[in-house]
Amino acid sequence: MNKKKRKKLPPEETKVLFKNRYCCCICGYNSKGKDVIIHHIDGNPNNTTQENLAVLCLDHASQADAGLRKGKLGSGRKLTPELVKKFKKDWEERVSKEFKIEKKILPIKKRKHLEILYEFEFTKIKNEILASPGKKQKFIKQKFDFLAQFLVEEFISGIPFRKLLLKIFNDIAIISPQQDYINIPLIESIRNLHIHLIGPEEVPMGKNDKTMLFRSLETLETIGSYEASLNDTNNTLKEVCKTIIELSEMASWYEFHKFIKKAKQVLLKIKKESEQYGSPEIGLKERKKRIQSKILIINKALNRISNLLK
């Protein structure tokens, strides 16, 4: 399916995506893996207040668009603005509650024992992902989605699942350069480690959150450097840059400028790596062309980051 080219997302739209966990507010977690868009509930694209923005899958966005028009429209289903608002409210409240569940107090000895067991299980899943061929993209995505559920569990049990997961993600990043079918869902999983940070008014950013952001940036740097210097295509590089921008925008809500500055440094390093790109199968002219395409992607991300530092 061809995606429509969309404008860069304003901060309010990015916040809404985070608050909805990048899921359609009607499908919920069933929309994982689907394309989603920002829908303007009242039909006015200039009204970008969070109250007017809903995250919808393409099917429900079409129904919501139909709901803005009066009269009958074929036999298709319509979603009225009022109904979209209700789904949005219910879903955002559910997501918010998931991160406000009171933590269980586990004895340190038991928690350490569980950490060892989970680390073993995560390593097993890592090996399954790395051993999977490109044609098993659905299987790989399911494995990453399975790991993602432990983010909520960390807030309940106190077990540092994000730390364990990021260690696994970093291992995957090092072992799987030039494998878009692994790296693209990997990048999404890294982003999802921070999806609970929807703004200081609702969720504070703790010391562990800051540490995890920096470690995630290190893993994104590893992926980006490999892709910039080795990969003939730019699919994964685009996702790296996009995710660095999104995490930096999130950091800006918390005035976490140290992270944004570090993100800029990482992009500059990736840009330098892109200049090392080369392949014996291509001539000098084609090599320069491909390097320029990589630099263009990185420069766009650098501009977005620089604007956050103004």
Cα 142 to chain centroid, rounded: 16
Contacting residues for 180 by C-beta, under 8 A, at least 6 apart: 231, 233, 235, 236
Mean pLDDT over residues 127-153, rounded? Answer: 87
86 in the same domain as 112: no
Q: Are residues 49 and 134 in the same domain?
A: no
Are residues 153 and 249 located together in one domain of the fold? yes
Separation between Cα atoms, residue 81 and residue 73, nearest integer Å: 16
Residue 6 inside a domain? The answer is no
| Domain assignment of residue 223, yes or no | yes
Print the domain residue range for 142: 108-308
What burial letters (b/e) apply to 159-191, b meaning 16+ CB within 10 Å?
Answer: bebbbbbbebbbbbbeebbebbbbbbbbbbbbb
Instruction: Give pTM, 2 decimals.
Output: 0.74
Say if 289 falls within a structural domain. yes
* Cα–Cα nearest to 205, from 53, 88, 99: 99
Tokens of 179: 């494998």
Q: Residue 94: inside a domain, yes or no?
A: yes
Query: Where does the pLDDT of residue 12 fall: very low under 50, low under 70, confident under 90, or very high at 90 and above?
Result: confident
Instruction: Give residue 7's pLDDT.
Output: 45
Question: Is the domain of 116 the same as that of 87?
Answer: no
User: What's the mean pLDDT in 67-74?
Assistant: 67
In the listed set 32, 67, 98, which residue is the last one of a domain according to the structure? 98
For residues 44-53, average pLDDT = 93
Last-in-domain residue among 76, 98, 120? 98
Same domain, 302 and 205: yes
Regarding whether 239 and 138 lie in a shared domain, the answer is: yes
Residue 5 lies in a domain: no
Per residue in 115-126, pLDDT (tens digit) is 788 889 999 999
Phi and psi at residue 288, to the nearest 5°: -60, -40
What does residue 160 show for φ and ψ, rounded to 5 degrees? -75, 70
Residue 301 maps to a domain: yes
Categorize the per-residue pLDDT at 272 as very low, low, confident or very high, splitting at 50, 70 and 90. Answer: very high
Give the list of residues 6+ apart from residue 264 with CB closer than 8 angstroms, or none.
302, 305, 306, 309
**Domain co-membership, 247 together with 268:** yes
- Residue 86 scores a pLDDT above 60: yes
pLDDT number for residue 1: 36
Domain count, the chain: 2
Locate 170 and state its tokens.
Answer: 């970093």
**Domain shared by 15 and 140, yes or no:** no
Q: Which is nearest to 92 in space by CA: 9, 24, 146, 190?
A: 24
- For residues 214 and 187, the answer to whether their CB atoms sit within 8 Å is no
- Residues 257 and 157 grouped into a single domain: yes
Q: Which amino acid is at 133?
A: P
Is 1 contained in some domain?
Answer: no
Question: Are 290 and 157 part of one and the same domain?
Answer: yes
Give a yes or no: residue 4 inside a domain: no
**Domain C-terminal end among 98, 125, 149:** 98
